[in-house]
């Protein structure tokens, strides 16, 4: 079947094999090789995934891996006819980084994590397997900590992001701040807009919109004062609220995750409670995925977006390891591209 649009290309996230997973439990980590194999095997009417987005941390990828090791991983990905797009920098405590509003050491480690991500991005770019994409960051701290001094902590995060952005700019990279209710200063549509405005480096620091996480922005989880919807809302009320949010954040959006959400929150392992991703065909899903993708993808080409990525964290391993799961996801992403994509 001929594709209607060549862009955006369609990527699968590798971090659902890691986020919320714990060794020696009934949800152990799923290896990068297994996630790649599941991705490469998916096919809908002759269409396949074009690439993957990577989390730069163990056990998938050592942030300090040698160039030789990274090139072997790149070969492994390319051998499956997949490319690499966006990279998730290991900014969190317990990885390389630290809180963007923490101590001087924490903030220096945050910038170091971005530097390590830029190094890996450069190697993948030079290899040829990486064709584009951004480096994803968050504030690596919680809304409850942020609440102690909202204005001061936002300024600290902004200052840390600016230092990280200088590193990214020097490497020809852009940073995308992930909008999610569990990240300090990024936990509502209004707080993340204020943060991006405070950073004031739109050419280098933008927004990563995830359909599942931004749905919870509308409901005001962790920031009731910024809720745009109340329970029992009508479709007209949803449409108006969604337009208000996307009109505010779309100009900043440089990375986009296709996702579904059932309106609840969830946390597994060390991952704080956040929006519950659902399978693309979940009957409890609150979003018309294809329709609402348009609110984020209008003007995407002009903002430098080249690919979109599916994100479905904290699914049971049995779901992640079922081929039908990925065919359903791929089919949904093809519909998104058909509706909102473009040709070169």
**Domain definitions of the chain by residue range:** 9-340
Strand ranges in 180-316 using DSSP code E only, listed in sequence order: 205-210, 253-258, 260-266, 274-278, 307-310
Asked if 136 and 86 touch (Cβ cutoff 8 Å), the reply is: yes
pLDDT at 335: 98
| Blockwise average pLDDT, block size 10, the chain, 344 residues | 85 94 91 98 97 97 98 98 98 96 98 98 98 97 96 98 98 97 96 98 98 95 95 97 98 98 67 71 95 98 98 90 97 98 94
pLDDT at 69: 98
pTM attached to this predicted model: 0.96
C-alpha pair distances (Å), 17 with each of 97, 255, 315 = 21, 20, 9
| N-term to C-term CA, the chain | 19
DSSP-derived pairing of the beta strands 307-310 and 253-258:
parallel
| H-type alpha helices, 101-234 | 104-127, 143-146, 150-170, 189-199, 211-219
Burial of 79 (0-12, 13-18, 19+ CB in 10 A): exposed
Asked if 135 and 161 touch (Cβ cutoff 8 Å), the reply is: no
pLDDT at 275: 61
pLDDT at 28: 94
Half-sphere exposure of 166 (CA within 13 A, CB side): 8
Query: Any residues with CB less than 8 A from the CB of 193 and at least 6 apart, and which?
Result: 248, 249, 252
Q: Cβ–Cβ contacts within 10 Å for residue 203, how many?
A: 9
pLDDT at 267: 52
Q: Does domain 9-340 have CATH number 3.20.20.150?
A: yes
């Amino acid at each position: 079947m001929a594709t209607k649009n060549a862009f955006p290309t369609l990527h699968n996230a590798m971090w659902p094999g890691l986020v919320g997973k714990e060794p020696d439990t009934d949800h152990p980590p799923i290896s990068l090789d297994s996630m790649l194999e599941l991705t490469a095997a998916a096919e809908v009417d002759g269409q396949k995934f074009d690439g993957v987005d990577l989390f730069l941390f163990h056990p998938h990828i050592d942030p300090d891996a040698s160039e030789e090791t990274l090139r072997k991983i790149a070969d492994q990905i390319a051998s499956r006819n997949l490319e690499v797009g966006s990279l998730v920098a290991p900014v969190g405590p317990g990885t390389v980084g630290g809180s963007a509003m923490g101590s001087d050491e924490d903030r220096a480690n945050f910038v170091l994590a971005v530097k390590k991500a830029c190094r890996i991005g450069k190697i993948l770019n030079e290899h040829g397997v990486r064709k584009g994409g951004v480096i994803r960051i968050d504030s690596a701290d919680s809304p409850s900590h942020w609440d102690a001094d909202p204005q001061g902590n936002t300024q600290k995060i902004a200052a840390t992001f600016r230092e990280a952005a200088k590193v990214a700019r020097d490497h020809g990279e852009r940073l995308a701040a992930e909008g999610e209710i569990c990240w300090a200063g990024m936990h509502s549509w209004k707080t993340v807009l204020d943060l991006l405005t405070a950073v004031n480096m739109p050419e280098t620091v933008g927004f990563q919109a995830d359909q599942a996480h931004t749905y919870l922005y509308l409901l005001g989880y962790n920031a009731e004062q910024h809720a745009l919807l109340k329970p029992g809302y009508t479709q007209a009320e949803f449409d108006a609220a969604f337009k208000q949010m996307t009109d505010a954040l779309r100009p900043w959006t440089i990375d986009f995750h296709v996702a579904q959400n059932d309106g609840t929150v969830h946390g597994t392992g060390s991952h704080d409670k956040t929006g519950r991703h659902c399978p693309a065909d979940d009957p409890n899903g609150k979003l018309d995925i294809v329709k609402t993708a348009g609110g984020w993808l209008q003007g995407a080409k002009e903002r430098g977006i080249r690919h979109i990525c599916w994100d479905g964290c904290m699914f049971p391993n049995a779901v992640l390891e079922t081929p039908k799961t990925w065919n359903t996801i791929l089919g949904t992403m093809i519909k998104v591209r058909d509706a909102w994509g473009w040709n070169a």
